[in-house]
Structure 1
Amino acid sequence: MTSTAINASPAVAAGEVTKVYGSGDAAVHALRGVSVGFAHGAFTAIMGPSGSGKSTLMHCLAGLDTVDGGSVSLGQVELTRLNDRQLTQLRRDRFGFIFQSFNLLPTLTAEQNIRLPLDLAGRRRDQLWMDKVVGALGLRDRLSHRPSELSGGQQQRVACARALIHQPEVIFADEPTGNLDSRSGGEVLGFLRSSVREMGQTIVMVTHDPVAASYADRVVFLRDGRITGEMYRPTPDSVLDALKRLEA
């Protein structure tokens, strides 16, 4: 097994994680003993061919899916030892999520959508932090608009603000620019990049796009449920070459 080196104190880590869907002849081994750590204050992209296990790995790291073997840890907390209630609370309080579909509530304004994680948790809003996030995303003049009154790029920026509003330890982004044009996608990725540099955010992103991956500090590559390598300071061309080698 090839695995990436785990940071001495990663924000989130997988240790020998296995995941199997189905059984018998129909069994699909999505993850085959994956060990990998994701550093604090870093932007990491997970890439691989279709069916490589990249989305499964992210879902297991985020506590959205269970593992069949191994462990997942957030700092000193082992997710695989938590019950459903504890896991739900951890996801709510310590993780942020950005998905390809924006998942905004259509009846709420942009501001209400952004505040939703705080409202659900019964937490008070930090107005200074709210102003900083909204300003960084260029949403000040869009807060009273409902999703139907926003462009796709604006909706995804609202989703980014919602993911950040409770100051999570890790943000998981699953193909966050998949429904956006190149300009809107670049704006969202630029913000994610700046949130790492300026706010110390930790981001783990699944993507199939070499351009999106080039915004990351590091790219982890999977194939057939195993980690095959990693790359630091990626460029679109270097990522594309690595993917071609994986698929060869």
Structure 2
Amino acid sequence: MPKYKHLFFDLDHTLWDFERNSSESLTDIYHGFELINHGVMSLGDFVRAFLEINTKLWDDFDHGRIAHSYIREHRFRLVFEALNVKNVAFGSALGEEYLRLLPQKSHLLDGAVELLEYCASKDYQLHIVTNGFDSIQASKMQSSGIHHYFQQVVTNEKAGAKKPDAQIFAYALQAANAQPHESLMIGDNWQADILGALRFGMDAAFYNPKKLIFDQQPTYDVQHLDELKSVL
């Protein structure tokens, strides 16, 4: 029998290809809003600035320095400031359009579907634990065709806490009727996914394509999702 019964996955950057889907959404926005006529002269610079600022904002959120609402309200303003664009009157409209477009994108990371199929064939119970927004994460899973693999989808809105807080892991395990010793957290975020799970008493598999090194060791360290099959 396998060691684990319950597998808890992060969604963005672990299964769902956030960078590719985000880049496509930003490309649609760049052309649809004719940003070149508003001083944003390079699509590449626009995408790079957004991804860099968005990553920083989500890191601030993971560490409790800002709220979800701050990300929604300010990220495009910060992008325009970084690009030295003065006219940001349409920033809120871009934010709304981004949140409309993004969940419609369907790209998954290489090996994601194969891994989920493998886990399902081995009768693992699969769940999502994410700090993302309820409706947006649900739409992402529908668009990419993976919603049917998961029994529980736990967000910070449902749990009243976010990773790496112990409360969201406790909520997820209770919802799944699971115990820590029979559960594995799988994610790409060292702070939120891996340290959060380890401190709660769960094993954690670090999806680590960039081969990052930290002082503490995860239970498993993999560079490709396919490597998890040997773990399981």
Q: TM-score, normalised by structure 1?
A: 0.30
Higher fraction of strand: 1
Higher fraction of helix: 2
More relative contact order in 1 or in 2 (CA 8 Å, sep 6+)?
A: 1
